[in-house]
A and B are shown apart, each in its own frame.
Chain A
Amino acid sequence: MTRWRFALPLLLFGLLVLALARGLRLDPHEVPSPLIDKPAPPFALARLDDAARTMRRDDLLGKVWVLNVWASWCEACREEQPSLLVFARSAGVPLIGLNYKDTRAQGSAWLERFGNPFDASLFDATGQVGIDFGVYGVPETFVIDKRGLIRLKLVGPLTAEAIETRIRPLLKALDV
């Protein structure tokens, strides 16, 4: 036993390296959301394209749907727009936008310019609904199941890869 004592610091060092190496691969901006498997917060918001039409959370009960939080001032939203447009064509579920802390004119103009993948966009001028959804880094994407539970939250611009590996398999699993 004592013959191998010299190896102990080396072993501890090895463990430390492993722990630090793992730390390098974690993204501190990916905060686990406490909302997963909890009911989506209730909301009643006017549509971006029609201030007279209100959409509520419970209108979507019984459907699997995807919520994407976006804004015209958000650079990263422009980045994810192409993959979102592709996704919208074959998603098979309602894709709802949450136009976060924007103005109607700028939000609508942005959709006109970069393409509109959404079945509808909700207009959240004050950002209150965004806060209730725990939004902190636009764009964010949520998947909500038939019972109205949030099943997935992705922060940051959607990539084609994230859509294929995270969203589509989940939609398939939920749509039974």
Chain B
Amino acid sequence: MSRACVAWLLALCAVAAVAKDAPPATADPVLEARMLSIAAELRCLVCQNQTLADSDASLAQDLREQIRAQLRDGADAAQVRRFMTDRYGDFVLYRPPLQASTLALWLGPGLLLAGGLTMLGSVLRRRARLSDAHFEPDRSEVLEVEGATR
């Protein structure tokens, strides 16, 4: 590849990088940052594996604008989240609240870990009590024995 060609590609990359950093839709960077930090914890219902902050869906854009307007009116993050769950349910929260229906979700991983550790502990304790005859000898021990007999 010629040098000019490489230069061209680099230039294109530079343009692409600049193009990606689109100016925020509002002139107030503080507000925008607050909006994005809230939106990053909310699920976009149109493309369910994206956050409201990431999604380009038109509903996500509208909802980001909703959040901006509410923040401008003095709402706090909890009030914005309430607005969203009132309309779309707890499903929009990436951090579901701790309640009866989400107990398994919150406690499940801990219980599984505790169960696994308990099982591991009991197996190890049982094996520690067994005599050497229950185990295959280590490879190094085998070599030593073989060396001694030779």
Interface residues of A (CB under 8 A from B): 28-29, 31-35, 101, 127, 131-134, 136-137
Task: Answer yes or no: B26 CB below 8 A from chain A CBs.
Answer: no
Q: Which 9 A-B pairs have the closest CB atoms?
A: A134-B87, A136-B45, A34-B89, A31-B91, A134-B88, A127-B62, A136-B59, A136-B46, A31-B89
In the bound assembly, the distance between CA atoms of A47 and B91 in angstroms comes to 33
Chain B residues in 8 Å Cβ range of A29: 48
Given contacts A101-B58, A127-B62, A131-B63, contact A34 B48 (CB under 8 A): no
Beta-carbon contact of A28 and B48 below 8 Å: yes
In the bound assembly, the distance between CA atoms of A34 and B85 in angstroms comes to 8
In the bound assembly, the distance between CA atoms of A31 and B85 in angstroms comes to 12
Beta-carbon contact of B89 and A32 below 8 Å: yes
Given contacts A101-B58, A131-B66, A136-B59, contact A35 B46 (CB under 8 A): no
Beta-carbon contact of A136 and B58 below 8 Å: no
CB distance from B46 to the nearest CB of A (A): 6
Number of interface residues of B (CB under 8 A): 15
Interface positions, chain B 87-120, Cβ under 8 Å from A, are 87-91
Q: Can you give 9 contacting A-B residue pairs, CB < 8 Å?
A: A28-B48, A33-B89, A34-B90, A35-B86, A101-B58, A127-B62, A131-B63, A134-B87, A137-B46
CB distance from B8 to the nearest CB of A (A): 39
In the bound assembly, the distance between CA atoms of A133 and B87 in angstroms comes to 7
In the bound assembly, the distance between CA atoms of A37 and B104 in angstroms comes to 27
In the bound assembly, the distance between CA atoms of A137 and B46 in angstroms comes to 7
Beta-carbon contact of A31 and B46 below 8 Å: no
In the bound assembly, the distance between CA atoms of A28 and B89 in angstroms comes to 13
B 52-65 to A, binary, CB cutoff 8 A, 1 in contact else 0: 00000011001100
Chain A residues in 8 Å Cβ range of B85: 34
CB distance from B22 to the nearest CB of A (A): 22
Nearest residue, chain A, Cβ from B43: A31
CB distance from A76 to the nearest CB of B (A): 13
In the bound assembly, the distance between CA atoms of A127 and B58 in angstroms comes to 10
Given contacts A101-B58, A131-B62, A136-B59, contact A35 B45 (CB under 8 A): no
Q: A31-B91, A133-B87, A137-B46 are in contact. List 10 more A-B contacts (CB 8 A).
A: A28-B48, A29-B48, A34-B90, A35-B87, A101-B58, A127-B62, A131-B63, A131-B66, A134-B89, A136-B59
B 75-88 to A, binary, CB cutoff 8 A, 1 in contact else 0: 00000000001111
CB distance from A124 to the nearest CB of B (A): 11
In the bound assembly, the distance between CA atoms of A132 and B87 in angstroms comes to 6
Chain B residues in 8 Å Cβ range of A33: 88-89
In the bound assembly, the distance between CA atoms of A11 and B85 in angstroms comes to 38
Beta-carbon contact of B88 and A31 below 8 Å: yes
Nearest residue, chain A, Cβ from B89: A34
Chain A residues in 8 Å Cβ range of B59: 127, 136
Partner of A31 from the list B45, B58, B62 (CB cut-off 8 Å) is B45
CB distance from A138 to the nearest CB of B (A): 10
Nearest residue, chain B, Cβ from A35: B87
